[in-house]
Amino acid sequence: MDRVTAATPGSAGEACVPGFAADFAARPLSLRANFSWTLAGNVVYAVCQWSVLVALAKLGSPVIVGQFVLGLAVVTPIVTFSMLSLRAVQSTDARREYAFADYFGLRLLNTALAMAAIVAIAPLVASSRETVWVIIIVGLAAVPESISDVLYGLLQQRERMNRIAVSMMLKGPLMLVSMAGAMLITQNVCWAIGAIGISRLLVLAFYDLPGGVWVLGASCSPAASNRRPREGIAPRWDRAVMGQLTWLALPLGVTVMLSSLVGNIPRYFVEHELGTRELGVFAAIAYLMFVGTTLVSALGQSASPRLAQYYAAGRMSAYRRLLLRLVMVGAALGIAGVAIAAIAGRELLAFFYAPEYAENNAVFVWLMAAAGISYMASFLGYGMTAARYFKVQILMNCLTVCTAIAACWILVPQNGLQGAAVATLAASGIQLTAVALIVLHAMSRCEKKVAVMCNEE
């Protein structure tokens, strides 16, 4: 039974876009246009996020950077799990089995629970009252981002990636400028993080929510091609429906949370063993690992449909060839990163951050090596997902988390920041090995099925 229920005229959250505007809102963009907008939005937002860290390093100190990064390390896994990858579930809900109101209601409820968990955990992990407040404010700043994400899922479902990109292009520069201004005026990291949250809230209120109303309005217009029952923007809290939706999304939520933990485990150990200042130095250097992530994500997301088509059709030569090309791109990015870090790492760290960061160039080299392996593992992960191997990803990520914990427990107390970098490399290596074995198994299984079908014919 379709869970998208009709609303009466004048009901809460109802929006009806008449005529040409509704038809335009309902019309999806082309694949090429969506890819171009997605890449542009991700690049702008990623650069601004990195620039926030650079600005904190320039205007503050490694201790301030460390407090901010510790806040992210505590908040991100909690918020990531609470999001349950609803954007991915919603964007692939081709039958519209759940209304946007159901996704919106579940997201608001889970976000409130996540915020309560952050408030409870912050005093247990922070070493000072100021750090407790930093963690809580980082959590509050993540709330509008989480709400925007479920609206992005709606836009992605309707193939309107241009509005997502514009939102990110507005939000990135706005939060960078406001954060830098607050830091210059107050010299207080709490106010700086608060400015980031306010920037996200402004974009949510004045662009993302109106965009959701605009797109949902197309569903109640006679001009819309799908002629779905009208939907509203207001959240709905139906316990039975939310329970079904939670159960559906839970495996993806666990998988993404474990992936988030892998990147944050070295940070936990560095803060515990070496202190907040050293955490700030390590995190600033580690963030350069993600320079190539934007390209990897864009390539992987654009190649995923083609990989899925090849695998479903049993065209294993084409599947293997495309996947190999992607992995080679990841390896090339990794080699380039290691070369740049080895040759010009000191100069780059001093230029982007401060001279004291340049003293840890060996850490930079190790982290770039880990980045290259992570890029290859990510591309293979897209191949694994295209082959519809979902549940095994939880086991794979559990293995990677355990490796990261064991390596950090052994290496960080003895080798400091370099030990954390080597532990990151070890976890990436285990992830690459595991996903490669899974992909090889998937290809072998598919080839056997194709052979059986050919014999039967």
Give tens-digit pLDDT for 355-382.
888 888 899 999 999 999 999 998 998 8
Measured between alpha carbons, how far is 410 from 425 in angstroms, rounded to an integer? 14
Mean pLDDT of the chain: 82
Residue in the block written with tokens 């876009």: 17
Across 52-73, average pLDDT:
85
pLDDT confidence of 305, banded at 50, 70, 90? low
CA-closest candidate to residue 126, choices 142, 143, 139: 139
Give tens-digit pLDDT for 239-272.
888 888 888 888 778 888 888 888 889 988 998 8
pLDDT at residue 103 tops 60: yes
Q: What are phi and psi of 151, to 5 degrees?
A: -70, -35
365 close to 345: Cβ distance less than 8 angstroms? yes
pLDDT at residue 20 tops 80: no
pLDDT at residue 1 tops 70: no
Instruction: Note the pLDDT of residue 452.
Output: 65
Measured between alpha carbons, how far is 164 from 204 in angstroms, rounded to an integer? 11
423 close to 364: Cβ distance less than 8 angstroms? no
Give tens-digit pLDDT for 22-36.
444 456 666 567 777
Residue in the block written with tokens 């059986």: 452
Across 317-340, average pLDDT:
91
DSSP string spanning 409-453? HHHHHHHHHHHHHHHHHHHHHHHHHHHHHHHHHHHHHHHHHHHHH
Buried b / exposed e over 144-154, threshold 16 CB at 10 Å, is: bbbbbbbbbbb
Instruction: Note the pLDDT of residue 13.
Output: 43
Measured between alpha carbons, how far is 249 from 259 in angstroms, rounded to an integer? 16
Range with the poorest average pLDDT among 9-13, 186-190, 442-446: 9-13
Measured between alpha carbons, how far is 36 from 25 in angstroms, rounded to an integer? 19
Beta-bridge partner residues of 14? 232
Range with the poorest average pLDDT among 12-21, 193-202, 248-257, 288-297: 12-21
Percent of the chain whose pLDDT exceeds 90: 33
pLDDT at residue 17 tops 80: no
Q: Is 213 left (phi over 0), alpha (psi -120 to 50) or beta?
A: alpha
DSSP string spanning 147-212? HHHHHHHHHHHTT-HHHHHHHHHHHHHHHHHHHHHHHHHH--HHHHHHHHHHHHHHHIIIIIHHHH
Query: CB-hemisphere CA count at 13 Å for 240?
Result: 1
> If residue 218 lies in a helix (H) or strand (E), which one and from where to where?
none
Range with the poorest average pLDDT among 134-143, 210-219, 421-430: 210-219
More confident residue, 430 or 303: 430
* Amino acid found at 121: I
Measured between alpha carbons, how far is 423 from 122 in angstroms, rounded to an integer? 25
Q: How many CB atoms lie within 10 A of CB 313?
A: 12
149 close to 87: Cβ distance less than 8 angstroms? yes
Across 156-171, average pLDDT:
83
Instruction: Note the pLDDT of residue 91.
Output: 67
Instruction: Note the pLDDT of residue 300.
Output: 76
Instruction: Note the pLDDT of residue 4.
Output: 44
pLDDT confidence of 161, banded at 50, 70, 90? confident
**Cut 0.95: pTM above it:** no
* Amino acid found at 356: E
Instruction: Note the pLDDT of residue 339.
Output: 94
CA-closest candidate to residue 388, choices 92, 146, 61, 125: 92
Across 41-61, average pLDDT:
84
CA-closest candidate to residue 315, choices 457, 453, 455, 456: 453
69 close to 266: Cβ distance less than 8 angstroms? no
The per-type count for the chain, helices as H runs and strands as E runs, is: 16, 0
Q: How many CB atoms lie within 10 A of CB 112?
A: 12
